[in-house]
Amino acid sequence: MKSLPTSVKAYKSTPLFVNETIPQGLLKNHSTKQGVWGLIQVTQGELEYSIEDATTHVLSVHKQGVVEPEVLHHIRPLGDVSFFVEFYK
């Protein structure tokens, strides 16, 4: 999985999501805008992160997910999970 470029800076974050509050849009393919990176940070449990190129990662407290600009992706909770997304540009 790619890393965030050193040149980007955080500019906003989502609230903490749990199973009942995950926006439906995150469960189907979506992307960030041009120049916007995301960092999925799991605080409890596990989250499946699938990227357009058919790569799938299991994210946890110990493994973050990097979202590249304009790349389609979606998530799926694996049991009880809590997470948030930080955005960078």
Residues 24/30, Cβ–Cβ less than 8 Å:
no
Q: What single-letter DSSP state applies at residue 63?
A: B
Domain annotation covers residue 3: no
Domain annotation covers residue 20: yes
Render pLDDT for 30-72 as a digit per residue (tens, 0 to 9).
999 999 999 999 999 999 999 987 799 999 999 999 999 999 9
Domain annotation covers residue 43: yes
The pLDDT value recorded for residue 71 is 95
Total number of domains constituting the chain: 1
The pLDDT value recorded for residue 38 is 98
Find the domain containing 22 and state its range: 10-88
Model confidence band, residue 74 (pLDDT cutoffs 50, 70, 90): very high
Residues 27/50, Cβ–Cβ less than 8 Å:
no
Domain annotation covers residue 26: yes
Domain annotation covers residue 69: yes
pTM (2 d.p.)? 0.94
Whichever domain contains 59, its CATH number is 2.60.120.10
The pLDDT value recorded for residue 60 is 98
Domain annotation covers residue 5: no
